[in-house]
Amino acid sequence: MLTLYLFGIVQKHTKILLCLALGLTPILTGFAHAQTDLKRADFDGNRKINFQDFLAFVAVFGKTSSEQGFDSRMDFNGDNTINFQDFLAFVAVFGQSVELKDLADYPVGVSLQTKYLTDDARVSLIKRTFSSITGGWEMKPKPISTGPGTYDWRRADALVDFAEANNMQVHGHTLLWHQAVPTWMENFSGDDAAFEAAIKEYITTVVQRYRGRVVSWDVVNEGIDGRGKVRDNLFSQRMGNDYIARLFQYAREADPDVLLFYNDYGTSQPWARAKRAAMLNMIDDFQTRGIPIDGIGLQMHISYKSPDISAIRETIDEIVRRGLKLHISELDIRINPDGDLSEPTQERLELQKKRVIEIVTAFHQVPEAQRFGITIWGIADPDTWLIQAGRSQGRPEWPLLFDDHLQPKPAYDGFVEALQNKGF
């Protein structure tokens, strides 16, 4: 009876009810976070809390658990009756989306290769989920730099065009990395000054080409080794240990506005104390000398069990204390680091979810102005570099937010939950 009555109201006063629902939303948001979660209120499963969901809710209003049609998903307050409290909880999330990019007030990014741009399912997943992209390979020197002063822009352009067409930002990765060195750099026959001039020319050209189209660049990737020394590689050999500072200056000269990041891995691992100290010293040194640096990228290739979140928080705090922006730049979470699984288990997937919540929550504790964003290192599990680049030593691995069928995993829900608990 009550249901029929409510249906009548809905039909007659659709607009008024919608306005009421939307108007109450901000007032009730706090209430709703204690009472419900977005995913649960998405009865029709289209990842938006919309009018269809509202109708579904209204249709069972007043039912108790003993009656037919009772839907426990709608019993947000758990009292076995779909009542006004549940209605308020539902209304408070009306109009919201369950997608990461809509829930976050900072960029949520993904790394991808141009080959995925012709994969419709992946493209649609990327468009609805993420607000930032990073090239997994295409914006590194090896694919771009075909010789001194010669360039192949095709793949990098395709990524930037894709981002622009879909309202996403681009994080440039990376101007220099010892694992993506073009052959001509390795074989460079000129002297060290000529080598540095060629590197400067490369950085200047790339940064200027994407000026205004790329919001940020990792200037140097993994420039410090595990002992806390400037990594012994072609660049330090040719340009000396202070080369990192000069490359930041060259990038800044090329674009006064682009954000400049130093990006590295493992900095919260127990084995990396010297490395982390060296990275923090480098920041202090840059700041003392007036070398431009805007942020730090923590790659965050971690596992379900290590490193401890307290160590990650310590590293984050040190970066925040120095006033820099923080980028969780390459998040993936291995659930099979010891190779004991041949299939993902529910238990491990839940532990992976717990890790996502820990990381995202730690990120939310960074002051807003220093929150650069979180980038996931790959679209769906089969795409992970850990398998494709042979880093999981033949072990199967499922480190990302979406599964083999592109369905969101518990890890994805963990991200959503962490965003909801933040209360914006």
Strand ranges in 140-191 using DSSP code E only, listed in sequence order: 145-147, 150-151, 169-177
Residues 359 and 309: beta-carbon distance below 8 Å: yes
How buried is residue 313: exposed, middle or buried, by Cβ count under 10 Å (0-12/13-18/19+)? middle
For residue 115, state whether it binds ligand XIL (rule: CB under 6 A).
no
**Active-site choice (196, 222, 358, 397):** 222
**Binding map of ligand XIL across residues 154-173, x = CB under 6 A, - = no contact:** --------------------
> Residue 269 interacts with ligand XIL (CB under 6 A)?
no
Bin 80: left if φ > 0, else alpha if -120 < ψ < 50, else beta. left
Distance of closest approach, residue 359 Cβ to ligand XIL, in angstroms: 17
**Residue 136 CB, nearest distance to ligand XIL (Å)?**
4
Give the whole-angstrom CA distance, residue 107 versus residue 148: 34
The reply on whether position 243 binds ligand XIL by CB under 6 A is no
- State the chain's maximal CA–CA distance in angstroms: 88
* HSE-up (13 A, CA, CB side) for residue 373: 26
Residues 314-373 touching ligand XIL, rule: CB under 6 A, are 330
Active site includes 330? yes
Shortest distance (Å) from residue 385 CB to ligand XIL:
3
The residue (of 99 and 330) whose beta carbon lies closer to ligand XIL is 330
Q: Which residue has the tokens 């990381």?
A: 359
Binding mask 184-203 for ligand XIL (x = CB under 6 A): --------------------
Binding flag, residue 114, ligand XIL (CB under 6 A):
no
What is the DSSP secondary-structure string of 284-315?
HHHHHHT----EEEE--EEESS-S-HHHHHHH
Near ligand XIL by CB under 6 A: residue from 169, 221, 315, 375: 221
Q: Pick the catalytic residue: 99, 138, 196, 330?
A: 330
Angle between helices 273-289 and 309-321 (to 10 degrees): 10
As a whole number of angstroms, the distance between CA 389 and CA 401 comes to 19
Q: Closest distance between ligand XIL and the C-beta of residue 318, in Å?
A: 20
Beta carbon nearer to ligand XIL, 267 or 299: 299
What track of x and - describes contact with ligand XIL for positions 49 through 78 (by CB under 6 A)? ------------------------------
Rounded Cα gap, residues 67 and 72, in angstroms: 11
CA–CA separation, 40 vs 73, rounded Å?
Answer: 6
Burial class (CB in 10 A: 0-12, 13-18, 19+), 278: buried
Q: Nearer Cβ to ligand XIL, position 19 or 389?
A: 389
Q: Which region, judged by CB under 6 A, interacts with ligand XIL, from 35-43, 46-54, 228-236, 382-390?
A: 382-390
Site pattern 132..151 for ligand XIL (x: CB under 6 A): ----xx--------------
Query: Which residues are known to be catalytic?
Result: 222, 330
Residues near ligand XIL (CB under 6 A): 136-137, 221, 265, 299, 330, 385, 388-389
